[in-house]
Amino acid sequence: MKLSITGRGVEVTDNLERLFEKKLTKLDKYFREDATAKIVLSNSSKGRQRLELTISYGGTLFRSEVEAESFQTAYDEAEENIERQIRKNKTRLQKRFRDKALDKQEFNRIESDKQFTEEEDKDEIVRVKRFSYKPMSSEEAILEMNLLGHNFFVYSDIDTGTINVIYRREEGGYGLIMPE
């Protein structure tokens, strides 16, 4: 797996780089060599250390963002989150990747792993909401979202006509999800 490490306001030391390279090999059992992993290190506003781990393979992203006392602890939690995502979605991932990415033997091991409850495997839609939308700017979408008291808002962009999602970020500000 190819790894890139970026520090935002944080120096990425050789020791940290070697540590993450070594620890990342644990996830190699799920992915082939052409998977890519990206780690972004930063300090949070609460004086803790934040680590974002994103693994990309075959058009699918596995992502975890964790704050902890140290980058090592944050990485361990992020790795557990990625493994949990794989376990939770193992059937869908097998169908999607067939034999391309995730190793069948590893899926069989996951199947027999009893420490995870069946509850994690149940993904069901419990509510369907329909709404009409009008073309608007991102500023209007933020206003609508705030008026509704939601954390995200789906809207049609007035300039491009595409369906976008605006969301409130935990560390403040807003994020925008746009199709390519």
Please give the domain boundaries of the chain with CATH numbers for all domains.
2-121 (3.30.160.100), 135-177 (3.30.505.50)
Note the pLDDT of residue 132: 76
pLDDT of amino acid 167? 96
- Mean pLDDT per 10-residue interval, the chain, length 180 residues: 91 92 88 88 88 84 89 93 82 61 53 51 77 86 83 93 93 91
Residue 96's closest CA among 64, 60, 125? 60
In the prediction, which pLDDT does 114 show? 46
Give the Cα-Cα-Cα angle 101, 105, 108 (nearest 5 degrees). 110
Query: pTM for this structure?
Result: 0.61
Q: What pLDDT was estimated at residue 133?
A: 80
- The predicted structure's pLDDT at residue 73: 93
DSSP class of residue 102?
Answer: S
Alpha carbon 67 to its chain centroid, in Å, reads: 14
